[in-house]
Each structure stands twice: as C-alpha cells, then as structure tokens.
C-alpha cells in the first residue's frame, strides 16, 4: 500500500512550485523590460506572505475576506502586529520600505498615460527607468519579506511557541492605535538565510 502524504504536503509542494514559477517570471520580466509585470508579481508575493503571517499568528482568518484585502490594509495590519522595525542586511525598517514601495507601485501602474488635463503624459524614457528601478526594488523587498516570514514560521514550530506568539500578535493588533508609529528596534544581524528563491 502506498504511503499517504502528510497532511498539507501536497499544498506545500504546490506553493513551492508556484513560487519558483513566480521568481522565474520576475527575472524574465525585468530582463526583457516588462517591469509592470514584475511589479505585479512582486506585490502578489509580498501580499501572500503577509496574509500567511497574519493567519499563522491568529490575527486573520483564512477566508475569502482576507483574499480580497487590499495591499495597503495588509501592510497596515502587519505593522500593527509587528511593532518593532524589521531589519536585515538590506533594509533598516522593512515595514516602512514595503509601504513606500507600495506608493511607487501605484504611481507606476497609473502613470503610463495618465496626466492632468491639458498636460503632457510622462516622458516614456523616464517612465521606463522608474519602472525598472521599482521592479528591482520590489524583487529585493519580496525576497526580504519571504526570508523574514520563514524565520518567523520556524520560531513557531512547537505548540507552546505558537500559542504564545499568537496571543502576543493578537494583543498588539487589539491595542495598537491607528496613528501610532513603532520605534525602530535597532536590531541588526547577519544576512538572513534565504528562503525558496530569495538571494
């Protein structure tokens, strides 16, 4: 009799394959100048990791409502849940860097032909240069978010750790005021161990 796969193993394999395809498409899109495609995939990766973290810590439920959550709301809930600045070898404050990139992403998606009435549209060469810079930054941010998520997931390998971590995250979201900003933790360390594709 064939051995049964562990619960969730098929889903993990599918997730790994989808991420491998996504990273490959990002590299190909940037290499061939399809920067808006790369930016779209990068946003999808970051959103997926943030959603997974919020579910993992009990802040959100894995339902259709979460799938419809806007990128801005995912980032807002992430910052409420993780109040200390996340730092790695690339960003001193990963949450702020992702939120800033969200603004650049919005400008790139809407700036191709949009302009004020009577004004000329953006210069094509300038647009391409900014789109490429945004795509390359988004790739690095997506990798950093993936690496951070995998580190957090490994911390929650035992039931006790999972319960403690979940209660802590729920308390932060419940008590965090909308206008509050977290002070950087000042934590700095070695370059994180890469997850899946991230380099």
pLDDT in tens, 27-73: 999 999 999 999 999 999 999 999 999 999 999 988 878 888 999 99
Q: Is 103 exposed, middle or buried (0-12, 13-18, 19+ CB in 10 A)?
A: exposed
Asked if 87 and 69 count as a contact pair (C-beta separation under 8 A), the reply is no
CB-based contacts of 192, cutoff 8 Å, min separation 6: 88, 89, 144, 147, 148, 151
Q: Considering the entire predicted model, what is its pTM?
A: 0.74
Q: How many CB atoms lie within 10 A of CB 21?
A: 12
What does the pLDDT average to over 105-109? 92
CB-based contacts of 173, cutoff 8 Å, min separation 6: 59, 77, 80, 81
CA 150, chain centre distance (Å): 12
Of the candidates 138, 196, 137, the one whose C-alpha atom is nearest the C-alpha of residue 13 is 196
Q: Considering only CA atoms, give the Rg of the chain.
A: 19
pLDDT digits (tens, 9 = 90+) for 2-19: 444 443 556 678 888 999
In angstroms, the CA 64 to CA 6 distance is 25
Residue in this structure with the two tokens 């970051």, named with its chain if needed: 46
What the block records as the tokens of 46 is 């970051």
Write phi, then psi, for 147 (nearest 5 degrees).
Answer: -65, -45
Q: Is the pLDDT of residue 170 over 60?
A: yes
pLDDT of 151 reads 95
pLDDT digits (tens, 9 = 90+) for 60-76: 988 878 888 999 999 99
């Amino acid at each position: 009799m064939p051995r049964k796969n562990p619960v969730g193993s098929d889903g993990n394999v599918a997730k790994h394959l989808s991420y491998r395809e996504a990273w490959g498409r990002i590299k190909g899109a940037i290499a061939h100048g399809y920067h808006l495609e790369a930016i779209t995939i990068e946003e999808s990766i970051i959103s997926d990791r943030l959603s997974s973290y919020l579910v993992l810590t009990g802040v959100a439920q894995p339902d259709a409502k979460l799938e419809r959550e806007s990128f801005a709301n995912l980032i807002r809930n992430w910052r409420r849940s993780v109040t200390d600045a996340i730092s790695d070898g690339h960003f001193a404050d990963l949450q702020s860097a992702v939120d800033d990139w969200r603004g650049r992403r919005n400008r790139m998606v809407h700036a191709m032909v949009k302009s004020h009435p009577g004004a000329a549209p953006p210069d094509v060469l300038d647009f391409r240069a900014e789109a490429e810079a945004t795509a390359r930054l988004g790739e690095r941010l997506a990798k950093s978010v993936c690496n951070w998520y995998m580190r957090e997931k490994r911390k929650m390998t035992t039931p006790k750790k999972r319960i403690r971590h979940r209660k802590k995250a729920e308390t932060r979201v419940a008590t965090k005021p909308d206008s509050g900003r977290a002070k950087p933790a000042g934590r700095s360390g070695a370059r994180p161990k890469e997850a899946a594709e991230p380099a």
